[in-house]
Structure 1
């Protein structure tokens, strides 16, 4: 089966072969059943011919019994079965001609039987009339002449030939019916076995192909989750370093504020304090630059995390689409199995084995549907975790942007401090004013650094959440891989 086909195309192509086998099996079964029914009708007709021959013979015996009883006793009560038999004999003869209408040999024997019947009936009629007119001796003489006995013997001979021919036909048809039943049984058994094998092979190929596709997708998800976990770990480490740097800068700024107060209290030490302040400002500027570079690195990592999470979301949606197709195929297979079970039940004993196969197919479809629901639940959990990670990462990105802006303000303040310190060194008369400006600027910087420290702690917390989410995502991906591998291993 081509691997570049879609799953619905594979299903349609795979079901074509079992469908062809079932159609051929149905055509052959219908043909065999029709032949068997035809043979059964012929057997039924043969049995009716034999029954009519027995009835014809019985009616002749009834007529003879009534005739002889009347001749011996002269009692009209013996003529009642005689009269009834006379009316039934003609009806039996006509029924025999109708039943053997397509049998030339039987029709020829019935043509020979007709004058013999008339001769026998005429002999019985004459003997009865003689008994009434001339008495018992005349009638007995007619019976003793042997005319009626010879006619009856001929009737028995012709009827025997007809019976023998029908018995031979009956034996041949029974043998043909037995052979037809055997052929039908062999055809149904072989067809059912072939259908089972074809359906089992098709089911195995379909399930193996689907498992391969899902397994490949889950491997890609697991790889993305691992990359996300690594990025989250790097983000957490960067956040910790940022928090440490912010603490150091805050301590430096507190020292700078203390220095500013000392400048205000002692103008004699203005030059030395200004020099110290300039050095501290340069160190602070370098620290701010390093912190800004760290924030830029964190921002790039956050952008990579967002891209990975968006790609992960798309892959999760693709898996969801595949699972939806699998679920629809399982439901259609279940419906086909139910219809096959109904058809097998309607076929009686001949379809019992096919019904068992249909029931097994329905159970397999139910198990596939159950596994699909479990996989869909895991995918939904993975998707929810991914959404949470994206939201947390976007919040971290915003916090990083705010930190970058605040560090820009800090850098600007440090440049202002440096300018103020230079001005203080050049003009001591501006010491007091510059000292006030420096104190104000230091206070602003300190407040900004407090905000930076708080932002760094929040970034660290967001990084921890991102790391935890990525770990959960990796665990869910491994669970999904194990869930896909379990049926393949079984």
Structure 2
């Protein structure tokens, strides 16, 4: 069923749409009038330029005739002015008719004819200056200038005719747009007035009917309201007693939830301390593991140096073998030199002494080589022993590192479990706090409800009195709307 407000809204909506439609049509008509007026003005400007071109050429021809007759250069001023202004007029005319292909073609023809006419005028002026009056008159009588001017007038007449046809067509458009706007505004206004009058009558009648029905409904409802007010007062008294008991229970529940919240907070604090200790232990184990890793690196470095030392001692042994071989060869050469020196007699004694010294030096080198080899063997033995001991220590360091890794993993697991416990304790604490807050809000709400129940109990009597007043008021309103029905 349509309410009164909806009917009023519908009436205003239809009126608004009608006024909007009238406004749109009027706006478009005005836009069309404005656009057509601009085109009319544009057409007049084109006509003025066409006439201006002919006028300039006439002035040029007049100046040429005056100069030919008199020979006075001052008569050429109109001719010079026409030569200067005619190209600009033709350019403006081309721009003004850029949307008209026919006119553009005629302007092309007009430019050619203007060029021919101006060239003819220039020839006759030069001929008058050089040959005098009679030859110039004969040249003019040839009729070239006249034919060019007649053709130019024909082209201008065609352009003028087409523009005037456009002007007539646009004037018809203006008249049609104005007529349409007038008809739309007048008919739309009359229709709006009729519609508003009918809508006002219908709405008034509908309002009277609806108010009368509503008043009768209020009369029936006021009796029911009196009975409901009595029942409401009894129910309010019972609700007030129940709310008092609920308030006591909620207060005890609030105290218990606060004790739970305090306990959860203490558990959360202990869990956080445990988590801190676990994190500290994990950090200590990580540092010890890093130290063991450093020791392992140092042991590996010592093993590498020992192995390098063994390689160097082997290289020294190889060099000693070469030196020992050289000493033996030197000793043999010294013995051979001694034998040769003895065979040489007195001449070889000195050489024999030198050979003997060389042999002795070779013997000492051989002895030193044996001693160095013995030392190198001792070094090799010590290096091998050190490498074996170092490898044993490296294995022990690896075992300790693995044990520290296991301890670190255990600490991390403990830290994770403690973190989980801490998070659970925090969630319990938060949930308990939220529960306490909710209980407090419920307690406040119940207290407010209890107060409202008391107020409802007090207002039930006022509702009964108001219902009686409403019954009397509905009778008065019904008499105002339908006097005969109220009587």
TM-score computed with the length of structure 2 as normaliser: 0.45
Question: Larger radius of gyration, structure 1 or 2?
Answer: 2
Give TM-score, length-normalised by structure 1: 0.44
